[in-house]
A and B are shown apart, each in its own frame.
Chain A
Amino acid sequence: MAVILVVEDEIFTREIAEMMIQDWGHQTLSAGDVDEALLFLRSPRHIDALFTDIYLKTAVLGGCELADIAIKLRPGLRVLYTTGNFVTDKMKALFVDGKHYLSKPYTEQQLHGSVDQMLAA
């Protein structure tokens, strides 16, 4: 079972996502913005994957910037992006290698499929 850092500024959406992920047997860490997420990423805690919203509070591409730093801090970290925006090619170019992304609104099955794919990659 994996440890997944869930970064989402909308608290209800984040908690429901965490609830689903925990139901599948994983452990979650919870952050509402880039700074909170970096505290976990810079700590010695074990983290397998990052599941992050792209638009975080005022940071339009906060999730992309966070993933860039996260990969530098923890090479090999798996990343799954989510966003309510249309994912343009310009945005995809900012994704880290081996990216996965999931459009909002996502259902439980869609999140389950994406998380499994990300962890299996």
Chain B
Amino acid sequence: MPVSDIAASDIVETVPSALLVLDRNLNITSANRAFYQTFRTSADETEGCLIYDLGNRQWDIPALRTLLESVIPHRASVEGFEVEHDFPTIGRRTMLVNARKIFRPGDHDGFILLAIEDVSEERAARKESNRNWQLTQSIVDTIRDPLVVLENDMTIVTASKAFLTIFGITQAEAHGRRVSELGQHQWDVPALRHLMEKVLPENKPIEGFEIEDDFPGLGRRVFNLNARKISQPGNHAHRMLLVFEDITDRKQRERDAQTLTNEISHRIKNNLQIVVGLISYEAKWTAAPCVQGYRAMQARIGAIAHLYDLISQSSRGRTIAVDAYLGEIAKAVSASLGNQSGVAILVRAEALEIDPDRAVPFGLLVNELATNAIKHAFPGGTGQVVLSVERIGDEIELTVADDGVGMKEKTLTKLPEKRGSDYVAIFVRQLHGTLTVSGAEQTGTAIKVRLPLLLVPAGGAEPLAA
């Protein structure tokens, strides 16, 4: 059935808006069902009644009087006139009133049709939303770190006070701009753009992206950027929260500490050079059989000195990379053998870190075992020594293995060089480890030292105590 065939009275009774028809004296001539339902009244109480007298003068509202007496007489229609009123029966209501003058043929006085829409709930929701927004904004403004909320297209929706202060812009200037356009385009970094483009579609947060640059009015600054997707319940649109943490001071402290560490390492190594030089000088005037002892002493000092290089390289300044440390010791032992040596020293180590307190006995132990292997395993002058470290359960196994002549059965229980083995025993005890020797004649020797988990995986947390 076409809409035009439907009777007007049916439409009037169906629409959700409350409808009222008033005569020129503002008496109600009729109302629809929506009106009676919304305002809890009936046709008997309503029809023929002056609108202001309706329901014990509930409708005697100043705003409505203004509309009916001052606006309507001068205009054919009014739309969206907002009236807010406390009705004794239904409570506080906000209504949007549309009004239109209606003239029938031959009737000069005409009628007024009022369409009243109750928008109380919508207005309350909007107020609640505004209150929530203001609360969120005030929380955002109290956060010291500058932060912005970005749209899908990377433009700024809102920015915190700290952000506006730091970048010297207003909320209006920030709104709708891309982060890459701010300042002197310091944030227009391809790597950052690439990461930001993944935050929303892939829900992949950005954590700790560092940018160091000269910022107008701020000077040289280092910022740490963190970003994550934020969603509102019931809303399909997603936005991104981008936080700028100013880590300039922390970075400077780290750099100062690194400079100091390097300076101390440099001085210690120069002083150890003097000690090594003193030993060289003594060795020069010492009888040949004793020279070997002096050289062993220099190698031990070297093993300690290499730690300082590794401390300088350590990003956390607290732990030593075991693989790098073994590499340095291997290099030093190889160098002490001279260029013509037929003995190769190899390193096979897992990426583990050791705490500096235990690094000294650990390095000295490796140096001692490697030196002993070189000294005793290769009467022919050729072969290889492998230094390896691996994690086995809750323990660490250090192995120094050679492919040399091996040990005689009876010497297996007793390490070859007396003083060297004394040192080995002391360092193993210091590290709370246990030592085993395996191998037989012609098959080489493997010395294994099991240590408690005093080593930690690379990038791990605090070293575990032994």
Contact = CB atoms under 8 A, between A and B. Distances in A.
B91 interface: no
A83 B306 CA distance: 12
Contact of B336 (A13, A20, A84, A107): A107
Q: Is the interface of A mostly helix, strand, loop or mixed?
A: helix
Interface string A71-112: 000000000000111100000000000000001111111101
B276 interface: yes
A113 B335 CA distance: 7
A16 interface: yes
Contacts of A86: 262, 265, 308-309, 312-313
Contacts of A19: 281, 284
Contacts of A55: 266
A107 B338 contact: no
Interface string B318-345: 0000000000000010011111000000
Contacts of A12: 274, 277
Contact of B270 (A13, A16, A17): A13
B305 interface: yes
A110 B341 CA distance: 13
B280 interface: yes
Interface in A1-27: 10, 12-13, 16-17, 19-20, 23
Q: Is the interface of B mostly helix, strand, loop or mixed?
A: helix
Contacts of A84: 265-270, 273
Q: How large is the interface on A (under 10, 10 to 19, 20 to 34, 35 or more residues)?
A: 20 to 34
Nearest to A14: B277
Contacts of B337: 109
Contacts of A116: 339
B298 A107 contact: yes
Contacts of A104: 269-270, 272-273, 305
A27 B306 CA distance: 30
B309 A103 contact: yes
A110 B295 CA distance: 11
B440 to A, nearest CB: 32
A10 B278 CA distance: 13
B338 A109 contact: yes
Nearest to A23: B284
12 contacts: A13-B270, A13-B273, A55-B266, A83-B266, A84-B265, A85-B265, A86-B312, A103-B306, A105-B277, A105-B298, A108-B280, A108-B298
Given A86-B262, A86-B309, 13 more contacts: A12-B274, A13-B270, A83-B266, A84-B273, A85-B269, A86-B265, A86-B308, A104-B269, A107-B280, A109-B335, A109-B336, A113-B335, A116-B339
Interface of A: 10, 12-13, 16-17, 19-20, 23, 55, 83-86, 103-110, 112-113, 116-117
Closest CB pairs A-B (n = 7): A84-B269, A16-B277, A105-B273, A105-B276, A86-B312, A86-B309, A105-B272
